[in-house]
Structure 1
Amino acid sequence: EFLLNLMTFKFATGTILCMILIAIFVPILAKAYQERLNNCSENVAYNQSELRKVVVYKNITPTIYRRPSVLAIFSEGLAKQLGDSAAIKYDKVPEISGSTANHYLSIFSVFDVSLIFKIVISILALLLAYDTISGERERGTLRLIFSGTAARYQVLLGKLLAGLLVLVVDVTIAFILGLVILLCLPMVDLTASDLIDIGLMFLASLVFIATMYNLGLLFSCLARRSAVSLVLGLFVWIIFAVVIPNGSVYLATLIRPIEPEDKVNDQITALEREIGTEFVRELERSGRSFMSGRDDRSDASGGGFGNGYVRSGTEAMIHNELLQYSIRVPIQIRYANKYSEIRNNYLRGLFEQTWLADNLSRISPISLYENIMSALAGTDVAGFRQFIEAVKPYRNDIIEYMRSRTDNFSKTIFFTPCTEEEIQTRPKGDTAAPLELSDLPRFTYEADIIGILRRIAPDFAFLILGNILFFAVAFAAFVGYDVR
């Protein structure tokens, strides 16, 4: 059975097509990865250069960038739809950005290596399996097989193992060819962790292809004619590839609708009005007041991250600005968390809707495979959410750093290098020296490997369960199959 499958035209065609697509896709995807990596490196370098220009503490507003994953070549997922950066500001909590709305999913939405497995090799698995039983019956060879001592389970297991071995050859060739091309490209640097993830992707691909082969074997055992089993297999493939992903999103929007974004904007507008009221209340409580007099000021640009700063000003102006910042900034920090809570409630509804759509689509092996590949590549929603959750504590570290250096935002260095003692003596055209920020907290981020394994475990389990279920039903049908 194995040798006969190797000599078929459909195996040769599928293998050649797979190799051609791998040879075309991988260099193109690697070049796109290099462009994203160069952009990330340029942005990080820009951040470092701007930090060296910061003159006042309120201008410490760096942007944290998520390094693009080289494994996006295998599964692009949502890499181009969700934002890969987060701005650090004292008056705003970072949140996931980009196209967070639920769009109808499609197997053809992105081009990556997993697309070859979802289309070419999965269809090849169906083509290898659709006539294993029904085709043998039509040719009359099935009756000859059972004229000997071979048991039905032996015949079915033999055809299963032979078909899977052929598909293992295809999957192995595809992964080895793709890996060789990647290793030959100078811009790609695969770490040990990347190689482990690629190994898991290879394993997931084998389980997925085995599921599709067992599905084709099932239809071959149910139908008496190979043409019928082929039509059934392709029909169910279309359902798994197109109907279920789209239908699950549509059903999720009906079952779990999210609140209108206008309502969220209204809540945020109401909070903005509360800030003004809170400021007046805190000002009265402090017993301080604004100083009357001339509020002349001299502003300067180039204070870091595109922000300016107050170079010098009158005594009244400096006093009033200092009073304004010392009271308003702590309020803005508190209300930033309230803004974030409102936005998180909206995003939580959106993510719950996405979670429901993912669960509904799990009846499709193609969706299960896509979930595993994107999780291992770090291009799924959970991967981006994990990055944002790691940035939030870093924002708190930056705020505490600014608070400690400015005595809870009550020193002039927060907004101007001009101290109250220098008001009369500092020349208006004088430029300030940058701050010493060598002890500024640094952001570090590593993907949670355990979390990734936990995310892919259910999908792996469902794929294995699908294999067992399809083969069990195929065996039950084959036991009573009429070989005449």
Structure 2
Amino acid sequence: MFSTLFEKELKAILLSPKFVATFGVCTILILLSVFIGIKEYESSRAQYETAVQLTQQGMLESSNWWSVDNTVFREPDPMQVFVSGVNNDIGRLSDVSTWNEIKLEQSSYSEDPLFALFRFIDFTFIVQVVLSLFAILFTYDAINGERESGTLKLALSNAVPRSQYVLAKFAGSWVGLVIPLMIPILIACLLVIVLGVPFEAVHWQKFGALVGVSVLYFSFFIALGILVSALTRHSNISFLTLLVLWVVVVLIVPRAATMVAGQINPVTSIAEIESQKDRYSTDKWDEYRRLRSRMWEERSAATEGMTPDER
């Protein structure tokens, strides 16, 4: 009976008109985000290699040590093809000299603040926002929809345990939604290989972990949709409930958790660290001036009344 229910749920998803639309949208978004990420990485890599070459050439052409000025550039990470993260928020280079502090500067968003407002859509954004909404869209009426149509009584009139019925619903929904999404992900991997992105074994391991966590995240919303559908009698109520839960889980909880963690275990801000460093530097310079002034006073007192020859 489990296989019959599983097959029924799988067919209901694959033959649904909204499956074609959602699968097409997800495929286009994933492939487009990866392709744009590859082009962005290639551009960043070309800028990095050019900047490093110019810096090395300038150091070789320096005629004295005082004119030597070294600049260190942050090498682009191939994983930014899938996850941009804070890559565009942090700086791309840092001056290395005796007087200047080593600090990454000139981030992409500082040069182009408009992109900071409309951020890059990467694979993680698609999973976090788009796929979670699609999971709700397919599962909000998984059980109460059959109650409304009358097929739930027909299914439970047989000797089917409720746990087995719910498990078949989840398994059919999971296979019908997760397995097809592996197709654009595999095509994205093929794009990475064909376009020559230097992915090493460690990068593929990270990508595998990313896909695994994404599947778990997607599975959570599938299970959440089936749970709410089982607890509510009407599909419209379950849809509104799931929409509120989606806003809380996806939009509110990550930001609220950061604020609560900051209150529980406060972290020193960058401005406070800079202030402490400036205060420390000022105190050390004042101490150096006092010691130097005292040394000159002691020397003057020791040589007071002496002739220039005696000094």
Whether 1:176 and 2:186 are equivalent positions in the alignment is yes
Match for residue 89 of structure 1 among 82, 97, 107: 97
Residue matched to 1:245: 254
Whether 1:163 and 2:173 are equivalent positions in the alignment is yes
Three-state SS of the structure 1 residue aligned to 2:97 is coil
Match for residue 233 of structure 1 among 242, 267, 273: 242
Residue matched to 2:130: 120
Residue matched to 1:71: 79
8 Å CA contact 1:171–1:206 kept in 2: the answer is: no
Distance in 2, matches of 1:70 and 1:87, equals 24
Distance in 2, matches of 1:181 and 1:264, equals 44
8 Å CA contact 1:107–1:241 kept in 2: the answer is: no
Q: Are the structure 2 counterparts of residues 35 and 218 from structure 1 closer, same or farther at C-alpha, using a change threshold of 3 Å?
A: same
Distance in 2, matches of 1:235 and 1:184, equals 42
Residue matched to 2:163: 153
Q: Match for 2:133: what amino acid?
A: I
Q: Are the structure 2 counterparts of residues 182 and 264 from structure 1 closer, same or farther at C-alpha, using a change threshold of 3 Å?
A: closer
Residue matched to 1:21: 29
Q: Are the structure 2 counterparts of residues 190 and 251 from structure 1 closer, same or farther at C-alpha, using a change threshold of 3 Å?
A: same
Distance in 2, matches of 1:78 and 1:281, equals 45
Where do residues 15-414 of structure 1 align in structure 2 (5 Å cutoff)?
A: 15-95=23-103, 109-186=119-196, 188-251=197-260, 256=266, 261=271, 264-265=274-275, 268=278, 271-272=281-282, 274-275=284-285, 277-278=287-288, 281=291
How many angstroms does 1:108 deviate by? 7.4
| Root-mean-square deviation (Å) | 3.3
Q: Are the structure 2 counterparts of residues 257 and 139 from structure 1 closer, same or farther at C-alpha, using a change threshold of 3 Å?
A: same
Q: Deviations over 1:43-71 (max 9, x none)?
A: 21122112212333344442222211121
How many angstroms does 1:240 deviate by? 2.0
Distance in 2, matches of 1:270 and 1:46, equals 35
8 Å CA contact 1:171–1:205 kept in 2: the answer is: no
8 Å CA contact 2:147–2:153 kept in 1: the answer is: yes
Residue matched to 1:330: none
Q: Deviations over 1:12-52 (max 9, x none)?
A: 11111111222332222222221111111112112211221
Q: Deviations over 1:129-178 (max 9, x none)?
A: 21111111111111111111221111111111111112222330231122
TM-score, L = length of structure 1? 0.52
| Unmatched runs of 5 consecutive residues or more in structure 1 | 100-105, 289-484
Residue matched to 1:292: none
Distance in 1, matches of 2:175 and 2:269, equals 51
Three-state SS of the structure 1 residue aligned to 2:72 is strand
Q: Match for 1:237: what amino acid?
A: W
Match for residue 10 of structure 1 among 18, 23, 32: 18
Distance in 1, matches of 2:148 and 2:20, equals 24
Three-state SS of the structure 1 residue aligned to 2:94 is strand
How many angstroms does 1:234 deviate by? 1.4
Q: Are the structure 2 counterparts of residues 236 and 110 from structure 1 closer, same or farther at C-alpha, using a change threshold of 3 Å?
A: farther
Distance in 2, matches of 1:193 and 1:153, equals 41
Q: Deviations over 1:329-372 (max 9, x none)?
A: xxxxxxxxxxxxxxxxxxxxxxxxxxxxxxxxxxxxxxxxxxxx
8 Å CA contact 2:94–2:103 kept in 1: the answer is: yes
Higher helix share: 2
Q: Match for 1:75: what amino acid?
A: V
8 Å CA contact 2:38–2:192 kept in 1: the answer is: yes
Distance in 1, matches of 2:44 and 2:273, equals 36
| Unmatched runs of 5 consecutive residues or more in structure 2 | 1-8, 108-115, 300-311
TM-score, L = length of structure 2? 0.78
8 Å CA contact 1:11–1:124 kept in 2: the answer is: no
Residue matched to 2:112: none
8 Å CA contact 1:22–1:177 kept in 2: the answer is: no
Q: Deviations over 1:179-205 (max 9, x none)?
A: 22233324x222222222221111111
How many angstroms does 1:93 deviate by? 4.7
Three-state SS of the structure 2 residue aligned to 1:63 is strand
Where do residues 434-453 of structure 1 align in structure 2 (5 Å cutoff)?
A: none
Residue matched to 1:329: none
